Amino acid sequence: GRGNSIEDPLDCFWEGAKLQSGMAYLQGKDILQWTNFDPLELLEELKKGKLHIDIWEEKINKAEVGHSYMDRPCLNPSDKNCPYTAPNKNSTKPVDVSLILSGGCYGLSKKYMHWQEELIIGGTVKNASGQIVSALALQTMFQLMTPKQMYEHFKGHEVVSHMNWNEDKAAEILEAWQRTYVQVVHQSVPQNSSQKVIPFTTTTLDDILKSFSDVSVIRVASGYLLMLAYACLTMLRWDCAKSQGAVGLAGVLLVALSVAAGLGLCSLIGISFNAATTQEFQITSEF
């Protein structure tokens, strides 16, 4: 199943490797991280040791991993950790960020992890050749596991051995992580900052729908009473033969009953109420 991943404009640069977790220890080598790990270089060294790496080489080539982040330009070419294989290592020319970001970025795999331009940059203005001239926002997307994927991933793991591990627990953890993430992002922005950072999660969307879906009996009843009064007063005439107040009253009651019937049917067949379903049934009933 799919794991967690980060889609970020930094992936166009060597600095994107700093967002990737994981490290490895090999005898006679420094600690390998994505900031200093070149898969093709490691394969060549393993070949010299006459090791059978055909399967690994095939997988790396198939996924088009290549040199990973080691051949991507550095945002700061003077950074001592910027690899010598970076095209602008020790360059004094400013990095052409707009040119590099045009067309999107790639993650670890150029075949399976292409972040489209619209996903990582917002409010772009382009020239006639299609190159980005300016942008209003940089966008980062976290793709999290589903509760089922997370449950399967940690099933039988020592980390969750002390709890009754199930999909519900996984869902609670994912929800808690999203809420904490939003809080941390808000707290990380200085009050006098000229930039705006706007976090948005699926939990935030659920909260918005829930707030719109909370039904206030008093408000609903007051609304229908006002509708009844309005219908009666506008259609009421002093001449009883021309008065249609009863028709207006019956019409409002018919609309109210049809909406109630529609929502009752939703409840019967198991469709949850939210702002979309209530508005949909209201429009349907009016037609």
Domain ranges for the chain, please list them: 5-141, 147-210, 215-286
Q: Cα–Cα distance between 98 and 113 in angstroms, integer?
A: 20
pLDDT tens, position by position, 4-22: 688 899 999 999 999 888 7
Residue 281 has pLDDT above 70, yes or no: no
pLDDT score of 219 = 76
pLDDT score of 285 = 45
Q: Which of these ranges, 22-36, 63-77, 257-271, has the smallest mean pLDDT? A: 257-271
Count of beta carbons in the 10 Å neighbourhood of residue 255: 16
Residue 251 has pLDDT above 90, yes or no: no
pLDDT score of 284 = 43
Residue whose pair of structure tokens reads 């994107």 in the numeric block: 16
pLDDT score of 273 = 61
Residue 276 has pLDDT above 60, yes or no: no
